[in-house]
Amino acid sequence: MNIVLLGFIGPWQIGLIVAIVLLLFGGKKIPQLMRGVGSGIKEFKDGMKEGEDAAKSEEKETEKLK
């Protein structure tokens, strides 16, 4: 029986998750945690751009060799 649970997340469940996160990390650690997540996402996007640029330059080089 395949049940998709993501459709059933309501305001009570979100509040419970927020309360658990506050209890685990405390109010002072959450901004630091979010900064870390944000910088990680930024670095990931930058890496993806570099990978795409490298792939494009390789394609151009192979076209020149033909």
Distance CA 54, CA 63 (A): 14
pLDDT at 7: 65
- 26 sits in the region (left: phi over 0; alpha: psi -120 to 50; else beta) called left
pLDDT at 66: 63
Return all residues near 30 (Cβ < 8 A) that are at least 6 apart. Answer: 21, 22
pLDDT at 39: 94
pLDDT at 60: 74
pLDDT values of the chain reduced to their tens digit, one per residue, 66 residues: 456 555 677 888 889 988 898 888 888 888 888 899 999 999 999 999 988 888 777 777 777 766
pLDDT at 56: 77
